[in-house]
Structure 1
Amino acid sequence: MKLEKESIRLLSKAIEKLESGFNLPDFNQHLDSSRMEEVMMKVAEKMQDNYPYFHPLFAGQMLKPPHPIAKAAYMMAMWINPNNHAMDGSKASSPMEKEVVADLAKMFGYKQHLGHLTGGGTMANLEALWVAGKSHPEKCIVASDQSHYTHERISDVLKLKFQKIKTDKEGKMDLSDLEEKLKAGDVGTVVCTMATTGLGAVDPLEGLLKLQKTYDFRIHADAAYGGYFKLIDNLEENTRRKYQLLHEVDSIVIDPHKQGLQPYGCGCILFKNPEVAKFYIHDSPYTYFTSDELHLGEISLECSRAGASAVGLWATHQLLPPVRDGEFAKDLSKSRNAAIQLFEKLDASDQFLTPMKPETDIVVWAVKGGSVSEMNEKANLLFKNAEKNQLYLSLYKYPTSKLMDPDFEIDSEYLICLRSSLMKPEHEEWLEEIWKRLEMSI
């Protein structure tokens, strides 16, 4: 079975259970089932024009299928279609959201928090930088040159100053370059990326916290991709220590729709200090009257938000709690194992160059050659041949300025590398097949 279908059976039973809770008269919805079926078959045919994101042979971009229970719970919630802005439209799903947000805050070690789900990591990061601007007005946001482009773009939207910090050859923030900018006294917030989307590199949080004792700035952890790696037991010791310090940062973003097995869009913003709620204060003449409890819209920049996201995540947490040594953490460890094993095969091969060892589950490598331009040509050809062999990879431009004493000619600004985000736990057991198809594609 290529596409999982058990969730359809679960969904059908769950809808019957859901319906039994409403003692209401029936009403006719006037559905044209025949026409709907015709349209849905057209939709299915259109959707065949996709890469197989759900399959272990898709080992390129960071696309991970939702867990069956997340899909079933999300779809079941759509029969109600709750809106998690106010309790009026989300009587059940707002409490679910508060519960899963508390789970995530606990995972990071926050003893208290303010937070909520968002439509995705971009919106979550926007709220973090919005609060940063309110907390340190007129001061600059800084992030590494390998951080997600959204930080620079959001800073522009918010009319905040933004600067990039240099990175080392492994894609981690250069603390010396950062301190030079801190000395000028103009930095209000430093974005610490907990696994970059390009290389999977984790910024040096320990060093940032030491600098914070000397200079006045906030630390925002963008853990959209890598936040859940805090749970796994097979990180390098240096990386593990960085994750253990996350409870000390001022705000954290995580995307359950990346490693957390959720459908798009499901992001989350967490603040260590609940007092930042003062920046959200607003009044609404018609939404906040049905309950004396906190309405999520009172601590969010978004208005209407899909309550189904909270329902899907709540169901997933019930089945697979985000805790150390749990089934969820063990599956995530398999992804890390797959990355280590692929790196070791690449590093032992006389055909490939590995610029750095993977810190999380993203592996980057180049094809050896006499010059960068020759290596780039080989990488592009391998990328195309791999797709013909039903192995789906991605490409990454690595700055040649970061290469240390290469034994080939530098005749281009960027070295084109192959890149694999080994996000699926199945990647570990499929690694030999992936390697076989990679060798066939050279």
Structure 2
Amino acid sequence: MDNLSEKSLQKGIRSLNEWIDSFGDWEPDDSLIVPEKKVNEVFTRLIERLKCNYPFEHPSYAGQMLKPPHPLAWAAYAIAMSINPNNHALDGGPPSSEMEKEVIASLARFFGYENTYLGHLTSSGTIANLEALWIARESHPKKKIAFSDQAHYTHGRMCSVLRVEGLKIPVLDDGTFDLDAVDPEDIGTMVVTLGTTGLGDVEPLDQILPWAKKHGIRVHIDAAYGGFFRTLKDSKLINGTAWQRMQEADSIVVDPHKHGLQPYGCGCVLFKDPEVGKFYKHDSPYTYFTSDDLHLGEISLECSRAGASAVAFWTTLQLFPLEEKTGFGPILSNCRSAALTMYELTNSSSKLTSYKKPELDIIGYFPTEASTLSEISERSKEIFQKGMSDRSFYLSLYKISAKSFTKRHPDFEVDAEDVTILRSVFMKPEHDNFVKELFSRIENCC
């Protein structure tokens, strides 16, 4: 915790305690009081157990999609949790509910839903995608939901939950969808992923949009991981083609707890047409009575949700605007720059080479001192384990089919059905300054 966030946290909790005391004298019940000695013992053990985590905040960690929340974001979350508001109904948290509506309006504008939209925060991207696919099923009953064979597994899983048929579409060598392999008459919704969780691939939204419109198919964008890269859509750091057309999609999912600097769990689902709210219609005889205004529970599949998530995200957006030159833009620029630097370093190395050029901030690479796919896998796993054992770096592993791998790297003997390579996720802006040191540590282990 930095000094500013610590001061903000202490000041916030002190002020809220004074506010609570203003309602009259009261004392906590004796049943809630714990002796100080026992508190110290338990929290000492707690801290020691938490130290068994990997160093997610340090730039030596470039493994999974674990981005530390901004200290001021989790300070805001902690302050709100001292009240513990529930954003299901307005009487569960009027201020936090209003903050949620404000951040949803900000995200809607950010993604290009300027005039009409419907949306809310969720507890995760999984739940956000579940809601989007549920609307897909309700609006196009008896139709299939299609997604690429590199989409997140949650789409297939949620299709099973919703009892709707999911259809995997092959991705061709140039990154486009093999639309000749499907009958558009069978499909009600097409999912397009902007930032796959494997290697951060940006799927061809510009290919899908006109095709879907022609056949009356809804388009859902899963931007759970990549959504905040829209801040760079007009820059030269990424290919902005897909990001510039997001507003043409029918629904969008983004995870603020990934690149949005938020604590877990904070997802978001947005719909372009607010009329989909009719599918949520229900009644709760004891819930929606304090206001005629919209209660967020009226447009959500989830019931109780932490209002603290909305408070933390609202605070973050006040501090970091969704813009290219200030706020989130410079943060995402650093992440993207780190991945490009790693790409250059691996391609100029005699020991490592990249699997392909990264589209966002995730890159795959592998040791070249091998002649077969199984040797690449074995060496990759050895490097992975060595870095963790001596605490010099923390990476992740990624499995690719032999067919896909040899299309890009045909010089290796195929002796296995798939190959395991190294993978780095450069989610922290600090990675931009640390990536050369990180690469040096990895190369020394080869």
TM-score calculated relative to the size of structure 1 = 0.95
The yes-or-no answer on 1:426 pairing with 2:426 is no
Task: Provide closer, same or farther for how the CA distance between residues 434 and 235 of structure 1 changes in structure 2, counting only shifts above 3 A.
Answer: farther
Give the deviation of 1:214 after TM superposition.
2.1
**Per-residue CA distance 1:343-390 (angstroms, 9 max, x = gap):** 110011122232210000001011111111111111111111222242
Supply the distance in 1 between the matched residues of 2:88 and 2:180 (Cα, whole angstroms). 41
Secondary structure of 1:28's aligned partner:
coil
Q: Which residue of 1 aligns with 2:196?
A: 196
Moved more, 200-209 or 429-438: 429-438
The yes-or-no answer on 1:347 pairing with 2:350 is no
Please give the residue correspondences for 1:223-234 in structure 2 after superposition, counting only pairs within 5 Å.
Answer: 223-232=223-232
Supply the distance in 1 between the matched residues of 2:56 and 2:171 (Cα, whole angstroms). 31
List structure 1 segments (4+ residues) > 6 angstroms apart after TM superposition.
Answer: none
Task: Provide closer, same or farther for how the CA distance between residues 233 and 143 of structure 1 changes in structure 2, counting only shifts above 3 A.
Answer: closer
Give the deviation of 1:239 after TM superposition.
2.7
Please give the residue correspondences for 1:233-312 in structure 2 after superposition, counting only pairs within 5 Å.
Answer: 239-312=239-312
Secondary structure of 2:305's aligned partner:
coil
Q: Which residue of 2 aligns with 1:150?
A: 154
What amino acid maps onto 1:386 in structure 2?
A: G
Moved more, 93-102 or 224-233: 224-233
Supply the distance in 2 between the matched residues of 1:8 and 1:433 (Cα, whole angstroms). 30
Q: Which residue of 1 aligns with 2:74?
A: 71
Secondary structure of 2:190's aligned partner:
strand
Give the deviation of 1:103 after TM superposition.
0.6
Supply the distance in 2 between the matched residues of 1:101 and 1:65 (Cα, whole angstroms). 22
Q: Which residue of 1 aligns with 2:444?
A: 440
Supply the distance in 2 between the matched residues of 1:144 and 1:381 (Cα, whole angstroms). 32
1:401 corresponds, among 393, 398, 403, to: 403
Q: Which residue of 2 aligns with 1:373?
A: 374
Supply the distance in 2 between the matched residues of 1:39 and 1:431 (Cα, whole angstroms). 38
Give the deviation of 1:234 after TM superposition.
8.0
Supply the distance in 2 between the matched residues of 1:352 and 1:440 (Cα, whole angstroms). 11
Give the deviation of 1:213 after TM superposition.
2.9
> Contact between 1:202 and 1:239, CA under 8 Å: does it hold in 2?
no
Give the deviation of 1:55 after TM superposition.
0.9
> Contact between 2:362 and 2:425, CA under 8 Å: does it hold in 1?
yes
Supply the distance in 2 between the matched residues of 1:32 and 1:20 (Cα, whole angstroms). 22
2:418 corresponds, among 387, 408, 414, to: 414
Secondary structure of 2:340's aligned partner:
helix
What amino acid maps onto 1:114 in structure 2?
A: L
**Per-residue CA distance 1:385-420 (angstroms, 9 max, x = gap):** 222242000000111212226111011111211000
Q: What is the count of residue pairs matched by the alignment?
A: 436
**Per-residue CA distance 1:268-321 (angstroms, 9 max, x = gap):** 000000000000000110111101110000000000000000000011011111
Task: Provide closer, same or farther for how the CA distance between residues 300 and 233 of structure 1 changes in structure 2, counting only shifts above 3 A.
Answer: closer
Secondary structure of 2:424's aligned partner:
strand
TM-score calculated relative to the size of structure 2 = 0.95
**Per-residue CA distance 1:248-286 (angstroms, 9 max, x = gap):** 000000000000000000000000000000000001101
> Contact between 1:83 and 1:305, CA under 8 Å: does it hold in 2?
yes
Task: Provide closer, same or farther for how the CA distance between residues 223 and 199 of structure 1 changes in structure 2, counting only shifts above 3 A.
Answer: same
Q: Which residue of 1 aligns with 2:13?
A: 15
Supply the distance in 1 between the matched residues of 2:210 and 2:350 (Cα, whole angstroms). 42
Supply the distance in 1 between the matched residues of 2:134 and 2:179 (Cα, whole angstroms). 21
Task: Provide closer, same or farther for how the CA distance between residues 396 and 181 of structure 1 changes in structure 2, counting only shifts above 3 A.
Answer: same
Task: Provide closer, same or farther for how the CA distance between residues 179 and 114 of structure 1 changes in structure 2, counting only shifts above 3 A.
Answer: farther
Moved more, 404-413 or 5-14: 5-14
Secondary structure of 2:151's aligned partner:
coil
> Contact between 1:234 and 1:333, CA under 8 Å: does it hold in 2?
no
Give the deviation of 1:154 after TM superposition.
0.4
> Contact between 1:236 and 1:359, CA under 8 Å: does it hold in 2?
no
> Contact between 1:234 and 1:336, CA under 8 Å: does it hold in 2?
no
Give the deviation of 1:238 after TM superposition.
7.4
Q: Which residue of 2 aligns with 1:80?
A: 83
Supply the distance in 2 between the matched residues of 1:269 and 1:251 (Cα, whole angstroms). 7
Q: Which residue of 2 aligns with 1:166?
A: 170
Supply the distance in 2 between the matched residues of 1:134 and 1:205 (Cα, whole angstroms). 23
Task: Provide closer, same or farther for how the CA distance between residues 191 and 39 of structure 1 changes in structure 2, counting only shifts above 3 A.
Answer: same
Q: Percent identity over the alignment? A: 49
Task: Provide closer, same or farther for how the CA distance between residues 169 and 8 of structure 1 changes in structure 2, counting only shifts above 3 A.
Answer: farther
Supply the distance in 2 between the matched residues of 1:337 and 1:272 (Cα, whole angstroms). 32
Q: Which residue of 2 aligns with 1:94?
A: 97
Supply the distance in 2 between the matched residues of 1:234 and 1:419 (Cα, whole angstroms). 27
Q: Which residue of 1 aligns with 2:141?
A: 137
What amino acid maps onto 2:107 in structure 1?
A: L
Give the deviation of 1:145 after TM superposition.
1.1
What amino acid maps onto 1:91 in structure 2?
A: P
Q: Which residue of 1 aligns with 2:23?
A: 24
